[in-house]
Structure 1
Amino acid sequence: MVFTEGDIANLRASLQDAVIKCSERCLYQSAKWAAELLDSLPEPAAPDGRVKIAHTPRGYMPAILTPNPDDVEAELEAVEFNKYLMAKSFFDCREFDRCTAVFLPDSLLSTILAAKSAESPLLASQTKTKDPGAPSAAYASPSGSLPELSQKSLFLALYAKMLSGEKRKDEDSEMVIGPQDIGSVSNKHLPVISRYLKSWFDERRSSPEDISYEGSQGWLEYLYGMVLAKQKNIEEALQWFLRSVHLFPMNWGCWLEMTSAISRVEMLNKIIPRLPQHIVSYMFHIHTSLELYQPTSELQTALAQLQEIFPDSPFLLTCSALYLNHTKALKEAAAEFNHLLSLHPHRLDQLDIYSNILYVLNERPKLAFLAHLCSSVDKFRPESCVVIGNYYSLLSQHEKAVQYFRRALALDRSCLSAWTLMGHEYVELKNTHAAIESYRRGVDINRRDYRAWYGLGQTYEMLEMYQYALWYYKKAAGLRPWDGKMWMAVGACLQKLGRERDGIKALKRALLADTYYESTNSSFGSAGGGLNRAVLGTLDTDVLIQIATMYDTLDEEEEARSYMELCVAQEDGNVDSPGGDNGLVEAAGRVLDDDADTRDERDANQGTGVTTVTSKARMWLARYALRHEDFDTANRLANELCQDGQDVEEAKAIMREARTQMDAAESRGGG
């Protein structure tokens, strides 16, 4: 991705234009995103080393209000200018109904829609998709009865009406996780907005089969897509979002709505070829792939290329931190967030994810500092409440943590982190009903969130409802296939259901998943590389002994012995150590199907040392050796147990039995 000086100048002009156009339409989050990118774009340097004043290709600094290239639209905007300024002022003061009433009073809106419904019964139905081949009354009267408004004013009026409905929806909702809070309150303004926009687009079609709309600039397509997405009409919403980004690709809010609508990697792969050839398409691909937990080496390469163009972009730095987080490089991810925080100490976006990382790393002082910082910047931002809730959770003050997570949800009911983390806290408080409800609400908001699915599995497992738990664990594992924790949960659940054979397969996948992350982190971004046998020294002993136990239950002692030996070998972290036998290497070959010539890093492996789990495996091997009359091995293993101070009495009994049998054998041999 090579950008010339002219490309950079055009990109700067496009970002300036995007900031102003999004601000004109009160799309402040999109304007902020574009402004941050614009600020991170390096200014060109003059030959004498001083920074030149950047000019747009046209040679003038952009005006406060951008001129409209369409003559008809420009004339309408000029006529409406005073009313537009008043409506925007109302919007900025969060008086959404007054903003809408400037251009579309309720009396006018109800009259228009009633007339349209009478003309075409199809417009009255909001749950069915329009058949492209069906006749529409809108084509019979091209002028229609819609008022003549510019697209900018119409967007502002209908967008304000949608936000008014969202505000009323929040007001009508019951207390978070209260007795009446079932999450069924809807935005009652959506049908009105949908019908109006449908009529507007129908009037601009030249024929029923035509999908282009004369003079449309992309903003109303974005709004119509949002309305359809909120009505759960995802497929049609995606079509409108695609039309919008082709007309105006710098509206980041539209790309975010597309990300929210995409729930599977297959959907993303179908969308990618239909995107415009634009730099924002690359950013969308990176952001959506990270939302789908798909960290790949290609993604890391694309991210690095974009960071060369925007060196200190907060958005790209956050994507880099999320990439590291998804590859389990938590310390590196925390360092990236720390760097971002040093550059933008008052920026609270995504800091709830940073607090999750600090929580997992048990970085209590840093989490305390982050909670204090967020509270001093804005204590009533949902992100601040989540950070403070995580801090109280780390202190094991679960009631206070729940209080802050509920506060975050009172501020924003779509705050996914708060729903999931509150479910975790209710699990700690043994309130399984509230935990299940919290996780379910999280899944309703974002079905890609593996943490909510995993939490549901944990909760049902606590209730000993293993079939339900297994189903939810499988959903989590499907979303996060390279996370060993997910497959461990699936394997444990299958074992409790008496399905040892399937459980063994799941636990072997857990071993493969953990090795995948180890190999990825050893060289940053090498996700496509083969598995390294040297990583065998870091296999999870709990998984190994669980596999061995299930083989033992199936009366397959040789397989059980191999995995028990592999478990004991983790104490030294070297599977090829002289103390191991051939069965150990055979077991490793059955677990990981890797290349035999990759052993360069084996000396870097560090073992776990003696643990309770490895001692249990050693005890099993000692009993096994005693049963199979391998008295030397039984004596040696029992002696090691005595030295480790684990199961000393039983180990001494095995030693006595082994020595007795060895002495008897010597006596028979001497006689």
Structure 2
Amino acid sequence: MGLSAKDALHLKEALQVAVIKCSERCLYQSAKWAAELLDALPNPSPSETDHRVTDDEGHYIHPAFLPNVDPVEAELEAKELNKYLLAKSFFDCKEFDRCAAVFLPDSLLSGSLATKPSETTTTPKGKGKGKARVSTATLPSDEALPAISQKSLFLALYAKVIAGEKSKEEETEMIMGPQDVGTVVNKQLLAVSHFLERWFAARKNDDDEPASQGFLEYLYGMVLVKEKNDSAALNYLMQSVHLFPWNWGAWLEITNLIARVEQLNKIRPHLPQNIMSFIFHANAAVNLYQQGNDLAANLNDLLDIFPTSSFLLTCKALLNYHSKDLLAAEQDFNNLLLQHPHRLDSLDHYSNILYVLNLRPKLAFLAHLCTTIDRFRPESCVVIGNYYSLLSLHEKAVQYFRRALTLDRTCLSAWTLMGHEYVELKNTHAAIESYRRAVDVNRRDYRAWYGLGQTYEVLEMHAYALWYYKKAAGLRPWDGKMWQAVGSCLQKMERYQDGIKAYKRALLADTYYDSTTSSFGSAGMVDRTAQMDPDILLQIALMYEKLENHEEAKAYMELCVAQEDGGAGAADDDDDGAGLRSSVIQQHGSPGGAPSDEGGEGSADRGAGGGHEGTGVTAATSKARMWLAQHAMAVEDYATANRLATELCQDGVDVEDAKALIRETRSRMEMAEMMER
């Protein structure tokens, strides 16, 4: 995917306009994102300049500095320039109430609440796109709305929302303190919401109003999200990206509203068809833990256009991280850090990878680097917390995770990781509360759901644990670890049939991507002689034994033992091998949808090496061999029992039991020979 020099020049100018427009409205994160993307765009050919706008003297005029195309808005912006500069300076100095009062005094905003909620009709529920509808008969007169430009109105209302968020943070109690119950709300949202409701209703009734610029739709959508009116919020945010697609904040709000990949595919045709929609789709798919060649190709296409984009490089690293290719993800983050050594965004994910890989020196260096750059960034605190956790200093780790949450209560990594630390400290109540807060921040975080399941399983509340494990498995349907946890819970609840299905799904998930590394989207027939997790096979066999299905139990025990040499001998040991493999393949229709839709995350927890190297002797294979030996004794197959018991002695596991079994088999064999004589 490449761009012509002319298209690259248009893209460059559009991003420059986006940086300026977002900065004028104090949307600094969106301005920073656009500026970083702009910096990653190679300079177009200087010959492609014939389309540029010039003044009467032939001087080039950049599109960002052209007057507003709407004459009414241009006149208003010119009249209020002094006030706008004053308001923006107040905002930059974090005097948000003073900023809002320049254009919207408190008396005017409080007057907007005169329209009672009963006088408006909204449709917040339902699967369709919600849209606020206001009865024109109850609206105040047009004079009630100030005659100011959309830019100034946005700045004033946005400042009011930020002022409310600041007051909310100041009134909130200490993190997870006795009074921290999550009941503190932004008290400015109601006034801002009613004002915008009136503003949009007035525009609908007046055809002479200037065209909307898209920023007020974004602000209203953001307010509706905070009010939990997701359907109406999505409607206004979609309008915003159609009117001004370069505001990355609006795209992020839409991303946060999308909970399933089906929802993403549903809204995709209704998005503006430009490069921003392409970037949004790739980012949303990564956040939904999707995987596959198509997504990787999309990111590579975008990187061809923006080769050094820190945002796209981070998406690529997260794609490998979510697919559990930790070594590739670590290398991607390492390269990203080399290119942007002062960038702290997403370094909390990098610290998670270093923690799992047990790369203590690199994690120590990263913690030192973050402290040097900005020790009061949430990402820095999470990195330091991970470092202390790796040193098993769990109290200090909790201290830094709490510090990260004091700086930003929506820091998802801090909530989840603090839950892990409380589990290590045996404080299950605090762990559950941490995981619940993480779910409140982002219901797509499978780690928090899985953590809740683990905590309730420790408390032996298996029904609760099962519910949370199923939520995690729904978010990661091709992660064998999720289904293994579901199967374990069902096994403890003595729901053996369902437990067998879940464990078979775990086997399918663990082997699926080993056989489709070249093509994530084509499953085909999975080679069941490839290596599988012997622990899962052992549990399936034990549940079949509970169900008194000894033939299936024996088949899975033999398959478990066969994993010592890679599973190649499974079919040779018993004629039931083919039927066993077929029974696992039948689970391909389990919940989770098509592989290309549900993600393609393979498991990195399955031991080293390829599918045919084998696990060697493990506790699971030794238990399976002992079971097979005892089964052979029960059916009077003394030669097989003696051979298996001898192998157990060589394994060095359960040696005494194996020796006793050998003595018994030999005595039985001698007795049988005597009887034959």
Q: Which runs of 5+ in 1 are unaligned?
A: 47-51, 596-601
Counterpart in 1 of 2:150? 151
Cα gap change, 1:22 to 1:37, in 2 (>3 Å): same
Q: Distance in 1 between matches of 2:132 and 2:285?
A: 33
Contact 2:512 2:526 (8 Å CA) reproduced: no
Please state whether the residue corresponding to 1:519 is helix, strand or coil.
coil
Q: Distance in 1 between matches of 2:257 and 2:674?
A: 79
1:170 and 2:169 are equivalent in the alignment: yes
Contact 2:120 2:133 (8 Å CA) reproduced: no
Contact 1:328 1:517 (8 Å CA) reproduced: no
Contact 2:120 2:134 (8 Å CA) reproduced: no
1:615 and 2:622 are equivalent in the alignment: yes
1:403 and 2:399 are equivalent in the alignment: yes
- Using the TM superposition, give the Cα deviation of residue 136 of structure 1 relative to its aligned residue in structure 2, in angstroms: 3.6
Cα gap change, 1:603 to 1:170, in 2 (>3 Å): closer
Q: Distance in 2 between matches of 1:448 and 1:15?
A: 30
Kindly provide the amino acid, as one letter, of the partner of residue 137 in structure 1.
T
Aligned identity (percent) is 62
Counterpart in 2 of 1:285? 281
- Using the TM superposition, give the Cα deviation of residue 130 of structure 1 relative to its aligned residue in structure 2, in angstroms: 7.4
- Using the TM superposition, give the Cα deviation of residue 66 of structure 1 relative to its aligned residue in structure 2, in angstroms: 5.7
1:12 and 2:12 are equivalent in the alignment: yes
Q: Distance in 2 between matches of 1:127 and 1:302?
A: 34
1:645 and 2:645 are equivalent in the alignment: no
Q: Distance in 2 between matches of 1:328 and 1:653?
A: 44
1:122 and 2:119 are equivalent in the alignment: yes
Counterpart in 2 of 1:38? 38
1:582 and 2:575 are equivalent in the alignment: yes
TM-score, with normalisation over the residues of structure 2?
0.91
- Using the TM superposition, give the Cα deviation of residue 649 of structure 1 relative to its aligned residue in structure 2, in angstroms: 1.2
Contact 2:8 2:44 (8 Å CA) reproduced: no
Q: Distance in 1 between matches of 2:228 and 2:273?
A: 28
Q: Distance in 2 between matches of 1:247 and 1:218?
A: 5
- Using the TM superposition, give the Cα deviation of residue 608 of structure 1 relative to its aligned residue in structure 2, in angstroms: 1.1
Counterpart in 2 of 1:335? 331
Counterpart in 1 of 2:261? 265
CA distances 1:199-240 after superposition (whole Å, capped 9, x unpaired): 111111137xx9x97411100000000000000000000000
Kindly provide the amino acid, as one letter, of the partner of residue 19 in structure 2.
V
Cα gap change, 1:432 to 1:213, in 2 (>3 Å): farther
TM-score, with normalisation over the residues of structure 1?
0.92
Contact 1:87 1:99 (8 Å CA) reproduced: yes
Kindly provide the amino acid, as one letter, of the partner of residue 11 in structure 1.
L
Kindly provide the amino acid, as one letter, of the partner of residue 179 in structure 2.
Q
Counterpart in 1 of 2:602? none
Kindly provide the amino acid, as one letter, of the partner of residue 553 in structure 1.
K
1:514 and 2:510 are equivalent in the alignment: yes
Please state whether the residue corresponding to 2:515 is helix, strand or coil.
helix
Kindly provide the amino acid, as one letter, of the partner of residue 368 in structure 1.
A
CA distances 1:449-501 after superposition (whole Å, capped 9, x unpaired): 11111111111111111111111111111111111111111111111111011
1:305 to 301, 307, 321: 301
Q: Distance in 2 between matches of 1:372 and 1:500?
A: 50
Cα gap change, 1:444 to 1:594, in 2 (>3 Å): closer
Counterpart in 1 of 2:542? 549
- Using the TM superposition, give the Cα deviation of residue 63 of structure 1 relative to its aligned residue in structure 2, in angstroms: 7.7
- Using the TM superposition, give the Cα deviation of residue 137 of structure 1 relative to its aligned residue in structure 2, in angstroms: 3.4
Q: Which stretch shifts more, 287-296 or 33-42?
A: 287-296
Kindly provide the amino acid, as one letter, of the partner of residue 612 in structure 2.
N
2:638 to 617, 624, 631: 631
Contact 1:574 1:603 (8 Å CA) reproduced: no
Counterpart in 1 of 2:182? 183
1:231 to 227, 230, 236: 227
Q: Which stretch shifts more, 652-661 or 642-651?
A: 652-661
Contact 1:173 1:181 (8 Å CA) reproduced: yes
Q: Distance in 1 between matches of 2:132 and 2:98?
A: 35
CA distances 1:323-363 after superposition (whole Å, capped 9, x unpaired): 11122211111111111111101111111111111112222
Cα gap change, 1:131 to 1:220, in 2 (>3 Å): closer
1:137 and 2:138 are equivalent in the alignment: yes
Q: Which stretch shifts more, 101-110 or 480-489?
A: 101-110
Cα gap change, 1:529 to 1:594, in 2 (>3 Å): farther
Q: Which stretch shifts more, 352-361 or 399-408?
A: 352-361
1:222 and 2:222 are equivalent in the alignment: no
- Using the TM superposition, give the Cα deviation of residue 108 of structure 1 relative to its aligned residue in structure 2, in angstroms: 3.3
Kindly provide the amino acid, as one letter, of the partner of residue 587 in structure 1.
L
Q: Distance in 2 between matches of 1:65 and 1:181?
A: 48
Cα gap change, 1:127 to 1:266, in 2 (>3 Å): closer
Contact 1:381 1:411 (8 Å CA) reproduced: yes
CA distances 1:598-652 after superposition (whole Å, capped 9, x unpaired): xxxx986221111112111111111111111111211111111111111111111
Kindly provide the amino acid, as one letter, of the partner of residue 348 in structure 1.
L
- Using the TM superposition, give the Cα deviation of residue 64 of structure 1 relative to its aligned residue in structure 2, in angstroms: 7.4
Q: Distance in 1 between matches of 2:401 and 2:536?
A: 34
Counterpart in 1 of 2:566? 573
Cα gap change, 1:58 to 1:624, in 2 (>3 Å): farther
Counterpart in 2 of 1:49? none
Contact 1:44 1:54 (8 Å CA) reproduced: no
1:432 to 428, 434, 451: 428
Kindly provide the amino acid, as one letter, of the partner of residue 590 in structure 1.
S
Q: Distance in 1 between matches of 2:294 and 2:658?
A: 53
1:464 and 2:463 are equivalent in the alignment: no
Kindly provide the amino acid, as one letter, of the partner of residue 119 in structure 2.
L
Output aligned runs, 1:491-510, within 5 Å: 491-510=487-506
Contact 2:6 2:44 (8 Å CA) reproduced: no
1:58 and 2:59 are equivalent in the alignment: no
Counterpart in 1 of 2:601? none
Cα gap change, 1:15 to 1:64, in 2 (>3 Å): closer
Counterpart in 1 of 2:88? 88
Contact 2:53 2:62 (8 Å CA) reproduced: no
Q: Distance in 1 between matches of 2:547 and 2:61?
A: 77
- Using the TM superposition, give the Cα deviation of residue 131 of structure 1 relative to its aligned residue in structure 2, in angstroms: 6.6
Please state whether the residue corresponding to 2:343 is helix, strand or coil.
coil
Output aligned runs, 1:382-393, within 5 Å: 382-393=378-389
Q: Distance in 2 between matches of 1:395 and 1:519?
A: 37
Q: Distance in 1 between matches of 2:66 and 2:370?
A: 36
Kindly provide the amino acid, as one letter, of the partner of residue 202 in structure 2.
E
Counterpart in 1 of 2:447? 451
Q: Distance in 2 between matches of 1:312 and 1:55?
A: 28
Kindly provide the amino acid, as one letter, of the partner of residue 58 in structure 1.
V
- Using the TM superposition, give the Cα deviation of residue 58 of structure 1 relative to its aligned residue in structure 2, in angstroms: 3.2
Q: Tell me how large the CA RMSD over aligned residues is.
A: 2.5
CA distances 1:487-533 after superposition (whole Å, capped 9, x unpaired): 1111111111110110110111111111123335x33xx22122674
Contact 1:515 1:531 (8 Å CA) reproduced: no
CA distances 1:292-335 after superposition (whole Å, capped 9, x unpaired): 22223222221121111111211111111111112221111111
Contact 2:109 2:192 (8 Å CA) reproduced: no
Q: Which runs of 5+ in 2 are unaligned?
A: 55-59, 589-608
Kindly provide the amino acid, as one letter, of the partner of residue 659 in structure 2.
K
Counterpart in 2 of 1:276? 272
Kindly provide the amino acid, as one letter, of the partner of residue 40 in structure 2.
S
CA distances 1:247-281 after superposition (whole Å, capped 9, x unpaired): 00000000000111112223222211110111111
- Relative CO higher for 1 or 2, CA cutoff 8 Å, sep ≥ 6? 2
Please state whether the residue corresponding to 1:204 is helix, strand or coil.
helix
Contact 1:454 1:486 (8 Å CA) reproduced: yes
Cα gap change, 1:223 to 1:603, in 2 (>3 Å): closer
Contact 1:563 1:587 (8 Å CA) reproduced: yes
CA distances 1:89-136 after superposition (whole Å, capped 9, x unpaired): 1111111111111111213333x425x528x96259999987748444
Q: Distance in 2 between matches of 1:419 and 1:331?
A: 25
Q: Distance in 2 between matches of 1:261 and 1:328?
A: 25
Please state whether the residue corresponding to 2:94 is helix, strand or coil.
coil
CA distances 1:408-442 after superposition (whole Å, capped 9, x unpaired): 00000011111111111111111111111111111
Q: Distance in 2 between matches of 1:131 and 1:193?
A: 14
Alignment coverage as a number of residue pairs: 648
Please state whether the residue corresponding to 2:522 is helix, strand or coil.
coil
